[in-house]
Amino acid sequence: MKKAVIGILAGMGPRSTAPFLTLVLDACERQYGARHDIDFPKLLICSQPAPFWPDRPVEPEAMVAAIDEGLKSLVAGGADFLGIACNTAHVYLDRLHPARPLLNMVDLAVEAVGATPRQIAIIAARPTMEAGLYQRALLNRGHRPITPDWQDAVDRLLGLTRETQDSAVLAAAWSNLGDIAQQEGTDSLLIACLDLTGILQHLTTDLPVVDAATELAEGLVRRWRAQ
């Protein structure tokens, strides 16, 4: 029986694409013990340049056009279902009309938080936070999103991902956010930015952490196995 082809729209930003693919392959090993080359799914990847600039707001029309272009490339290549490895892109889901089923990373991440009400601090890029994407989803499931006054610090951490790979520098920046989260009475962290997922290994915290990118990777593999 022919297995389904997974289509992944990534590249927002470009350096987050490879770490996300690693998450998908890790999910294969974890979920069903994939080991040999033949055990893994066929993946189509579109690393789509996105209209993001650090010094100005996202232009919705340009963003929707970029996402649509990427999704059409994946469908044309034979993808049977799709995932978008970009949190901010999910702000525009209701304006997209993909020709194949599209998994929702926000829903998958919030489901992973569990049913017990949590006080969750979201760490995300400014456009994602300002859109209220995860705040609404968490509230709808009975959780309380915590919003510390830390977006400038998060922006600086995101900037560091483009400037350095020094583990001590990155760990120190993460540590500042962890300290703030605990001071605010947070009992969980939700990471909602692919660029931050790529440096998550430098985060040391006693708080439970849900990473949206990891949950999307797990969801894509579950969907593939169910085909």
Catalytic residue positions?
Answer: 86, 193
Q: Is 224 exposed, middle or buried (0-12, 13-18, 19+ CB in 10 A)?
A: buried
Residue 3, both tokens: 């297995």
Task: Name which of 145, 165, 159, 126 is nearest 210 in CA terms.
Answer: 145
Length of the chain, please? Answer: 227
Packing angle, helices 133-140 and 105-113, rounded to 10: 50
**How many Cα atoms sit within 13 Å of 134 on the Cβ side?**
34
Cβ-based neighbours of 218, under 8 Å, separated by 6 or more:
27, 30, 31, 108
DSSP labels, 138-172: HHHTT-EEE--S-HHHHHHHHHHHTT---HHHHHH
The residues pairing with 7 across neighbouring beta strands, listed in sequence order, are 44, 82
